[in-house]
Chains A and B, each alone.
Chain A
């Protein structure tokens, strides 16, 4: 079964502390993995995707196929990073529609 698991509903850190939002997935095949973010009173938006291998707003995520994980990391959290973060999966392959399977989401709270 295709599944995305985010074990933490809430992660609270102080400004300047490192952040790691955990994401594990279950998928038979080669999925594409994403992190989406929803800031307060804003719409859901893409933060990063594993195939881009880029750093956005200081966040990075590495796909670990052995551990089936795609954890989101930032070395120094900022207050403006406070938001809801969703890990999502899309099936790979030419027949894939791109529909996303989301985790339950983790609320990141960065305290001053």
Chain B
């Protein structure tokens, strides 16, 4: 079956602009995670969604970052007023249930000029 998909695969933007990154989890997976992979920080957890529960936003680095998950499926990560330090690969993962094997998407490579 189809795996986790993310779009766009690459995004180049100018400092100060807003960007939206999309994640389509595997159908039926109730849990969804966002991570960021950057040169300086490695792989970092950003946010977690599980069903209709309140998301765990503890990993979001600043209030410029937000995410939502509509209808328990597709998720969008929004970065407002992008900064150069936001340049990274943003990864999405989904699982059938929390704490089970996470299946990762291919990532969105974001470059902020």
A34 to B31, CA, bound (A): 18
Q: Which of B11-19, B42-50, B66-74, B80-88 contacts A (4 or more CB under 8 A)?
A: B42-50
Contact for A100 among B35, B105, B106, B107, CB less than 8 A: B35
Task: Say yes or no: is A104 at the interface (Cβ < 8 Å to chain B).
Answer: yes
Contact B105 A104 (CB under 8 A): no
Q: List B residues 59-113 near A (Cβ within 8 Å).
A: 59, 91, 93, 95, 98-107
A79 to B107, CA, bound (A): 26
Task: Say yes or no: is A16 at the interface (Cβ < 8 Å to chain B).
Answer: no
Please, which residues of chain A bring their CB within 8 A of the CB of B106? 43
B45 → chain A, closest Cβ, in Å?
A: 5
A64 to B93, CA, bound (A): 28
Choose among B45, B99, B101, B103 the residue with the greatest number of A CB atoms under 10 Å from its CB. B99
Contact B45 A100 (CB under 8 A): yes
B interface residues, how many (CB within 8 angstroms): 25
A31 → chain B, closest Cβ, in Å?
A: 11
Interface of B (DSSP majority class): strand
A58 to B100, CA, bound (A): 22
A44 to B95, CA, bound (A): 14
Task: Say yes or no: is A35 at the interface (Cβ < 8 Å to chain B).
Answer: no
Task: Say yes or no: is B20 at the interface (Cβ < 8 Å to chain A).
Answer: no
Contacts A86-B43, A99-B33, A102-B42; is A43 near B105 (CB within 8 Å)? yes
Chain B residues at the A interface, C-beta cutoff of 8 Å: 3, 31, 33, 35, 42-45, 48, 50, 56, 59, 91, 93, 95, 98-107
Give me 18 other A-B pairs in contact (C-beta within 8 A), A32-B99, A45-B104, A88-B43 excluded.
A43-B3, A44-B93, A49-B101, A86-B43, A90-B99, A96-B99, A97-B48, A97-B50, A97-B99, A98-B48, A98-B95, A98-B100, A98-B102, A99-B33, A99-B48, A99-B56, A102-B42, A103-B42
